[in-house]
Amino acid sequence: MPTTVIIGAGISGLQCASAFLRLGHTVTILEREEDVGGVWLRYTAFNVQVPREFFRFPDFACPPELEPEEYPTGRSLLRYIIAYAHKNQLYRHIIFRATVTRLHRLSGQWQCFFDLRTDRGGGGGGGGGGAPPVAGRGAGLASGGFGSSADGFAMTPQQHRITADYLVVATGLHSAPYMPLIDVRPGGRFWDSDT
Ligand SMILES: Cc1cc2nc3c(=O)[nH]c(=O)nc-3n(C[C@H](O)[C@H](O)[C@H](O)COP(=O)(O)OP(=O)(O)OC[C@H]3O[C@@H](n4cnc5c(N)ncnc54)[C@H](O)[C@@H]3O)c2cc1C
């Protein structure tokens, strides 16, 4: 079964997860916050600039009981995103408090290194808190505590590494960009697209 790691549990990461699950992949989402929602975890009092019918999941209309305004607030959107994650049973695939720090490509696989926060505050409305953060979660998972990873990268005791066939970076517009150590320039070894 192909394995896919998705970084980010905002709108984009959750939809990608649903799509890959439908394809039969084993999916793990790494999210640094304590719940799904991305920007809408913080911008609760702001509204989107488009009417609600233009800002929705294609396969999940907003349930009437959530009563979104014509231009939904972040608070309404967050409830809607959490409902989407529950409906598609995505929480079981998410490792929260996991900040990805480094990506590496080795022997045709993605290696994704992440730090795990062990504080247990909050947990949000959706189920981010409570579950054991890493134990038994995700295929291809290795925990730190040993001096270095198999490919020689140093790992601290807080670091973990997950290996996957496919990688999706869904970290949004509001994060500092990070370029992995691969050649993705046109003509480079991993460039196989006209896009
Ligand atoms: C006030 C406001 C109004 C907006 N209005 C509109 C609108 O009208 N129409 C529209 O199309 N868009 C609008 N947007 C843009 C909005 O950002 C997108 O619509 C959408 O929510 C982005 O989703 P995303 O999943 O791509 O990114 P995000 O919601 O940013 O999610 C990215 C996720 O990745 C996680 N992450 C980042 N780095 C790491 C890391 N290293 N390790 C682990 N996790 C990480 C973050 O914690 C976050 O949860 C608006 C944004 C704001 C703030």
Q: What is the pLDDT of residue 129?
A: 45
pLDDT for the residue 113: 92
Contact by Cβ (8 Å): 105, 183: no
In DSSP terms, which residues pair with 167 in a beta bridge? 5
Enter the pTM of the model. Answer: 0.86
Dihedral (Cα; 136, 142, 146, 149), 10-degree rounding: 180
Centre of ligand 1 to C-alpha 170, Å, is 9
Higher pLDDT, 42 or 132: 42
Question: Is 191's pLDDT higher than 60?
Answer: no
Q: What is the pLDDT of residue 122?
A: 44
Any ligand 1 atom below 6 A from CB of 73? no
Confidence at 156, pLDDT banded by 50, 70, 90: confident
* Residue-range domain boundaries for the chain: 3-183
pLDDT above 70 for 131: no
> What's phi and psi for 158, nearest 5 deg?
-85, -10
Q: Is 95 in the pocket of ligand 1 (CB under 6 A)?
A: no
Q: Is the distance from the beta carbon of residue 28 to the nearest atom of ligand 1 less than 6 Å?
A: no
Across all residues in the chain, what is the average pLDDT?
A: 83
3-183: CATH class: alpha beta
Which of 5-9, 38-42, 60-64 is the least confident region? 60-64
Token look-up 């006209």 returns 194
CA distances in angstroms from 145 to 96, 115, 154, 161, 163, listed in the order given? 20, 12, 10, 11, 17
